[in-house]
Amino acid sequence: MRRRVFIGSAAGAAALTTLKSNAAKPAERPNILWLTCEDNNINWVGCYGNPHADTPHIDQLARDGFQYMHCYANAPVCAPSRSTWITGMLSISNGTFPMRSRNNIPHDRIKYYPDYLKANGYYVGNDKKTDYNIGNKPELGGRPDGDCWDNPKKVNWDELKNQQPFFQVINSTKSHESTAFGDVENTKHDPAKTTLRAYHPDVPGMRENYAHYHDAMKRMDGEIGAALAKLDEMGLAENTIVIHNSDHGGVLPRSKRYLFESGIHCPLIVRIPRKLKHLYPAAQPGMPVDRLVSFVDMPKTWLSLTRSKVPDYMHGTIFLGPETEPEQDYHFAFRGRMDERIENARAVCDKRFLYIRNYMPYTPWMQHLNYLWKMKATQVWDDHVKSGKATEVEARFFKPKKWTEELYDMEKDPDSVNNLIENPEFAEIAGEMRKGLRAKQLEYIDSGLLPESEMVKRAADHGLTIHDMVRDPKRYNLPGLLDAADLALEEDAANLPKLTKMLAAADSGVRYWAAVGLFLLNNGDHATGLLNDESHEVRAMAAWTLIKTGHKDQGFQRLEQLLNENSYATLTVLNMVDWFGDEGEVLMPAVRAMKPKKKSYPERMRDFLMEKFG
């Protein structure tokens, strides 16, 4: 389990109306059944090498089909991942990457992939998870999630048989994170027959939670089996390509929401009927496929397989079929805000190495997240660290600061605990991946080089979607922002003259990164002038710098003012209150006086802080 061996393989409306007239012949259009599930990485599936996993139907599907050994999610959490799927564009490029943000995109130019399938004569159904993270209120310029589907509800098998060719998604929720919550006693799976990650302590509650989730995976596997049996029963299997994968990795703590291998390395199995053997990606069914696949590749590939139009704006590469494109050098992944917790990180990986760049190294990896702390494994891990009994590896994840850069050998270190970034033996690899990451950020137009609230405000101020705002170099100078971020994160005192010059930049994003640089250098001499910056996020970062460097009254006063004024940076400030540790108590009167919107993330943070400080 600790070391996995990967085996290589043997080998607008008018436009859509026009597409219908050019539809391929029915014989050239296979059905597709896409069986998705939630929140599990490859280590929860038997055919990927875990001897303790109980997933017989998925394992049989791999024997009957083709098992992809290097498939990765672009985002390690559901909404940004599904936003990427439905548009065929990375959600980091559309500004839909922060969890449950529901930002709009230009729907007049960006269709959903089922639109192109329908234009090609396909009947499309989705049972029934959407969570596309895109504005869904028409009166506000959004699009209802179910609008693109002929049937957005429970699958109708009779309808599928009568409406061929079809493209049907069936999503199993049986492996969702919530199924890992609750009582972990009396599991069907034996807690002793589990393999713990290197960073998880072997304490009561941990093994039981592993076993509890193995039970959930077996139930999910049963739903996959039921769908396959129904496909056979209806006589549809001989003309239907079956696809199975999860929507990202997970699910025990330090997997879902994180860019480590456990958060992004996902199962992908494709079963192709013999009559379509010209589509085989390897010589025979049952053979593993060694190609690197990103989730963003999937919409383009499904459209290509069905002979539907593939729009030019879609990202990714076609990885299967006669229009297969060259394999990419790197997979690109990203992490933004996760529920109530502010975060920002990027990653690239090839088939062996994983490089992570943390744009907020001054925050802990493991921040208290209301939803995650419902899990017994999280609770017992937290308690074990607080008790002082944890090893260095077990405790590392809870420390107040993380590395700016991380490099892991996924083949030798699938748990991502041995950071190679300072090892001279891997300096060349780190350098190439560092350049590869920047190339991906520029190619796909990374919208996350501004704080989230600043990104949203800047687009709104110009009356634009984030998608359009970040494609205007005058409003979003991505190369300049990347340079500013790189300079700030170097933590090199020699950069101080450049950082102080950046404080006068017209771009609030550049000033923000200058403030970050001053914070990391413990330099409060220049931060005072930023307390009245027009950007609330810059004010907040400057205030924290002053607090950190001994000018506590000035810093806390500015943060209190931002809370009292219901600033657009309120969620950032609330996170800071927690990051301050015991010193955060100074701001609790202002926190307690808040009246945030019901069921909002600021409310969730306020409630956590009130529980923490009393």
Instruction: Evaluate whether residue 142 is within a structural domain.
Output: yes
Which of 332, 349, 366 corresponds to the end of one domain?
349
pLDDT digits over 383-424, tens only?
A: 999 999 999 999 999 999 999 999 999 999 999 999 999 999
Query: What count of Cα atoms within 13 Å lies in the side-chain half-sphere of residue 485?
Result: 23
pLDDT score at 23? 46
Query: Cis omega before residue 602 (within 30°)?
Result: no
Is pLDDT of 17 > 70?
no
pLDDT score at 13? 39
Which of 349, 374, 389 corresponds to the end of one domain?
349
d(CA 293, CA 327): 8
CATH at 167? 3.40.720.10
Instruction: Evaluate whether residue 478 is within a structural domain.
Output: no
Using the structure block, give the residue that is written with the tokens 């101020």: 461
Is pLDDT of 143 > 80?
yes
Amino acid symbol at 341: R
In which order are the strands placed within the sheet that holds 31-37?
123-127, 166-171, 31-37, 240-246, 265-271, 66-72, 288-294
pLDDT score at 12? 39
CATH at 506? 1.25.10.10
Mean pLDDT of 446-475: 98
Where in the sequence is the domain holding 323, given as residue range(s)?
22-349
**What is the chain's mean pLDDT, rounded?**
95
Instruction: Evaluate whether residue 378 is within a structural domain.
Output: no
pLDDT digits over 326-343, tens only?
A: 999 999 999 999 999 999
Which of 317, 349, 381 corresponds to the end of one domain?
349
Domain count, the chain: 2
Instruction: Evaluate whether residue 30 is within a structural domain.
Output: yes
pLDDT score at 27? 52
Would you give the distance in Å from CA 248 to the centre of its chain?
7
Instruction: Evaluate whether residue 289 is within a structural domain.
Output: yes
CB 523 within 8 A of CB 504: no
Is pLDDT of 5 > 60?
no
Instruction: Evaluate whether residue 317 is within a structural domain.
Output: yes
In which order are the strands placed within the sheet that holds 405-409?
331-335, 345-349, 353-358, 405-409
Angle (nearest 5°) at CA 82 between 77 and 88: 130
Mean pLDDT of 534-558: 98
Instruction: Evaluate whether residue 554 is within a structural domain.
Output: yes
d(CA 613, CA 168): 49
CB 429 within 8 A of CB 353: yes
Element (H, E) at 166: strand 166-171
DSSP 494-513: GGHHHHHHHTT-SSHHHHHH
- Tell me the pLDDT band of 185, cut-offs 50, 70 and 90: very high
Number of neighbouring beta carbons within 10 Å of residue 198: 14
Instruction: Evaluate whether residue 337 is within a structural domain.
Output: yes
Question: Counting beta carbons within 10 angstroms of the beta carbon of residue 597, is it exposed (0 to 12), middle (13 to 18) or buried (19 or more)?
Answer: exposed
- Tell me the pLDDT band of 16, cut-offs 50, 70 and 90: very low
Pairing state of beta strands 353-358 and 405-409? antiparallel
